[in-house]
Amino acid sequence: MATNVDVVPPPGPRPGLTRLESVDGRSFVARGPSNEQPVPGDYLEPEGEGGVLAFVEEVTGDGSAAGFSASGTLVQFGGGSGASGRPAGAPWHDVAVRPTRPDTVQHLLSAADPELHLGHLAGQDSVGVALVPNRLNRHTFWCGQSGSGKTYALGVLLERILLTTRLPIVVFDPNSDFVRLHERAVEANALQAGALGGRDVVILRPDDEQTPLRVRFTTLTSRAKAAVLRLDPIVDRAEYNALLRLFSGDFDTVDAGQILPYLRSLGDPDAEALAQRIENLGVIEWTRTWALGAVPVTDVIARRPAATVLDLGGYERPEEQLTVALAVLDDLWARRAERRPLLIVVDEAHNLCPPEPETPLGVAVRDRLIQIAAEGRKYGLWLLLSTQRPSKVHPGIVSQCDNLTLMRMNSREDLEQLASAFGFVPRGLLAQAARFRQGEALLAGGFVAMPSIVQMRTRVTPQGGTDVPVPMP
């Protein structure tokens, strides 16, 4: 018998018993039986409302016969305004919904260029989640417990930026994790690796003879010089003044060996005290920090390579790491009026901007980062700060971040803190972070189309320091 075409069901999931209501055409509440219960981050497709999806943010229901209740936001996509012709803001009553087909969600989350994909929606391999690159002009907070995959995922983002934008990057790399950003991973796709190979990636390392990581002491700000020497302009006013005089005259040398004899030759007790301080702190022995005749890091960054990786992990002393960071940040700030965009990536950001640094150098670095967080955006200085716990970074910096990447996070206290700092991120999605697997991340903020739980894609370049394996017999 011939089949009547009118009764062939449309392809894709069929509408179930779940029904949706919206009082304002923007937020919604959906109720249905427990076997149709969605999870936060899911999309539901309202029947007969083309171009609109219901994004689930909160779900209550325990799988019992009572069913579930879900709430969230109605999202328009692809320029659709709803096939029903309903005016914007009009209420919705008793609309049937069904699970969304992957291709519908793709319209919302995936860009035409698959190179922009940071990964795919967790649990839906076919739905790529694209970076919205023009929204990297904000500060970004990157958080997750140790081993959750922050550094790996950060590498994924940096590779996408290098491949798809012309936004220069500088990376403060305290664990030498990004020192292979110019190499190709064994498993990498040849085309992408080739494209990355064409970008100017400069790796500066303390022990590298060709491209050493160096700072020029004479061009540091007075405050930075004083911080290196642990001088307070009021408490240590005589020595501080001797320091100012040292660099305000003709004294300009690339020979570190001349500094102490010169100070002592002046016959001035304050200069002598300063000489003693320099000697006692051993600052002249930081031979892998001072440029002397070499090209300073600030000159390299001023040239704006596509990426400049600063291998802070190559230094033994935390003071040397802080000195390099301060030199770079002060110089970027001094040149801010040039308004040349730069993404400033700080892995293990608690090293550079903890709430309460312990040394004058630490305070100077943190204060500069607070200033860049507060005012850098309009000069094109955008921060991306990665750390294990939100409380480890100064709250004045976290509160300035508009993009969030959250990886696995067990601590309820930390999740609460993130929920209050990032009010735009649905709590139902944040709460799932306790169950994330390695490489899963919640991305939220303008740099993605919608808050999404993403399985990050594979790296093109190798990660520098990976986990140490347990020795086995």
Query: Considering the rule CB under 6 A, would residue 134 count as an interface residue with ligand ATP?
Result: no
Binding mask 350-389 for ligand ATP (x = CB under 6 A): --------------------------------------x-
Q: Which residue is nearest to ligand ATP (CB)?
A: 439
Residues binding Mg ion (CB under 5 A): 150-151
Count of chain residues binding ligand ATP (CB under 6 A): 15
Considering beta carbons, is residue 231 or 312 the nearer one to ligand ATP? 312
Considering beta carbons, is residue 122 or 202 the nearer one to ligand ATP? 122
Binding mask 86-125 for ligand ATP (x = CB under 6 A): ----------------------------------------
Query: Considering the rule CB under 6 A, would residue 466 count as an interface residue with ligand ATP?
Result: yes
Considering beta carbons, is residue 105 or 418 the nearer one to Mg ion? 418
Which of ligand ATP, Mg ion, none is residue 466 near (CB under 5 to 8 Å by kind)? ligand ATP
In the complex, what is the shortest distance from the CB of residue 358 to ligand ATP, in angstroms, rounded to a whole number?
21
Considering beta carbons, is residue 55 or 142 the nearer one to Mg ion? 142
Query: Considering the rule CB under 6 A, would residue 187 count as an interface residue with ligand ATP?
Result: no
User: Whole-angstrom Cα distance, residue 448 to residue 410?
Assistant: 24
Query: Considering the rule CB under 6 A, would residue 452 count as an interface residue with ligand ATP?
Result: no
* Choices 99-107, 149-157, 223-231, 302-310 (CB under 6 A): range interacting with ligand ATP: 149-157
Query: Considering the rule CB under 6 A, would residue 313 count as an interface residue with ligand ATP?
Result: no
In the complex, what is the shortest distance from the CB of residue 383 to ligand ATP, in angstroms, rounded to a whole number?
18
Which of Mg ion, ligand ATP, none is residue 253 near (CB under 5 to 8 Å by kind)? none
In the complex, what is the shortest distance from the CB of residue 141 to Mg ion, in angstroms, rounded to a whole number?
14
Which of Mg ion, ligand ATP, none is residue 146 near (CB under 5 to 8 Å by kind)? ligand ATP
In the complex, what is the shortest distance from the CB of residue 325 to ligand ATP, in angstroms, rounded to a whole number?
18
Of 275, 338, 271, nearest to 304 by C-alpha is: 338
Query: Considering the rule CB under 6 A, would residue 321 count as an interface residue with ligand ATP?
Result: no
Query: Considering the rule CB under 6 A, would residue 403 count as an interface residue with ligand ATP?
Result: no
What residues make contact with ligand ATP under the rule CB under 6 A? 144, 146-152, 388, 438-439, 456, 463, 466-467
